[in-house]
């Protein structure tokens, strides 16, 4: 850290990567803000895609290539789709809905701003002279990640697969229609579909890098 502090280049002479990072970061932040403020529910999901995609680019810029692709695959590819399914299944209104925000909005704004101010202050105060050296061996190449994952993190990895199985079963049980009351003739496979999706995706994510 001393080395990086001594070679601290300052904020006024940014490198190309930095400029790109900041620009993409601003876009990501804007998309995130729109996600939490827009009054159109489906738009919120779409803005979330933009924000998550922006984050994937940031991962790339940080040389974490594998993470970036997993991000795109799982978040943009499946989680957002799931969310959209959820919106559909809960009959979310399409178009502007005036009551998208609760009465808690002002309090939430206060808490959020205060938290942001405090955290930014702390983080900036702590890391303003820290420099990340992006040159040299890429930290997050697929090879490096795969080796570490299956050499050092095998056990948590397998435990995670059990967790995923449990989540799969749980989601199915939760979203099943009560078979005891066949009289309620609503569209029955509604719950089963979203539950199956993450289970199908997650092992795929695991197998991707093996």
Among 5, 110, 143, 189, binds another protein (CB under 8 A): 110
C-alpha to C-alpha distance for 53 and 69, rounded to whole angstroms: 10
C-alpha to C-alpha distance for 145 and 44, rounded to whole angstroms: 32
**By CB under 8 A, what part of segment 47-106 binds another protein?**
48, 51-52, 55, 58-59, 61-64, 66-67, 70-71, 74-75, 78-79, 82-83, 85-87, 89-95, 97, 99-105
- Contact 90/106 with Cβ under 8 angstroms? no
C-alpha to C-alpha distance for 59 and 21, rounded to whole angstroms: 10
Among 5, 134, 158, 189, binds another protein (CB under 8 A): 134
| Cα dihedral: 45, 50, 54, 56 (round 10) | 60
**By CB under 8 A, what part of segment 7-36 binds another protein?**
11, 15, 17-18, 21-22, 25, 28-29, 32-33, 35-36
C-alpha to C-alpha distance for 164 and 198, rounded to whole angstroms: 9
**Least distance (Å) between residue 182 CB and another protein:** 14
Angle at which helices 192-208 and 80-89 cross, to 10°: 180
**Least distance (Å) between residue 22 CB and another protein:** 6
**Least distance (Å) between residue 168 CB and another protein:** 7
Among 153, 158, 188, 189, binds another protein (CB under 8 A): 153
C-alpha to C-alpha distance for 89 and 81, rounded to whole angstroms: 12
Residue 53, CB-side half-sphere exposure with 13 Å CA sphere: 12
**Least distance (Å) between residue 52 CB and another protein:** 6
**Least distance (Å) between residue 131 CB and another protein:** 6
In the bound state with another protein, the residue whose beta carbon lies nearer, of 2 and 104, is 104
C-alpha to C-alpha distance for 83 and 43, rounded to whole angstroms: 12
**By CB under 8 A, what part of segment 160-189 binds another protein?**
160, 163-164, 167-168, 170-171, 174-175, 184, 186
Q: Residue count at the site for another protein (CB under 8 A)?
A: 110
Among 143, 158, 195, 207, binds another protein (CB under 8 A): 195
**Least distance (Å) between residue 104 CB and another protein:** 4
Neighbours of 126 (CB within 10 A): 9
What is the CA 45 to chain-centroid distance, rounded? 12
């Amino acid at each position: 850290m001393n080395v990086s502090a001594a070679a601290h280049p300052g904020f006024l002479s940014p490198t190309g990567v930095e400029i790109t990072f900041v620009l993409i970061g601003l876009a990501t932040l804007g998309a995130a803000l729109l996600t939490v403020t827009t009054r159109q529910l489906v738009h919120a999901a779409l803005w979330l895609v933009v924000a998550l995609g922006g984050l994937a680019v940031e991962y790339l810029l940080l040389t974490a290539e594998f993470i970036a692709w997993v991000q795109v695959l799982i978040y943009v590819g499946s989680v957002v789709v799931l969310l959209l399914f959820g919106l559909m299944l809960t009959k979310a209104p399409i178009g502007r809905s005036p009551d998208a925000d609760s009465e808690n909005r002002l309090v939430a704004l206060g808490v959020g701003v205060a938290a942001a101010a405090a955290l930014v202050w702390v983080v900036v105060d702590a890391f303003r002279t820290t420099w990340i050296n992006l040159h040299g061996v890429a930290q997050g190449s697929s090879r490096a990640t795969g080796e570490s994952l299956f050499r050092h993190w095998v056990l948590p990895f397998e435990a995670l697969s059990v967790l995923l199985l449990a989540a799969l079963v749980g989601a199915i049980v939760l979203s099943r229609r009560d078979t005891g009351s066949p009289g309620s003739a609503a569209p029955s496979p509604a719950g089963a579909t979203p539950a199956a999706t993450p289970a199908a995706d997650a092992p795929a994510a695991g197998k991707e890098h093996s």
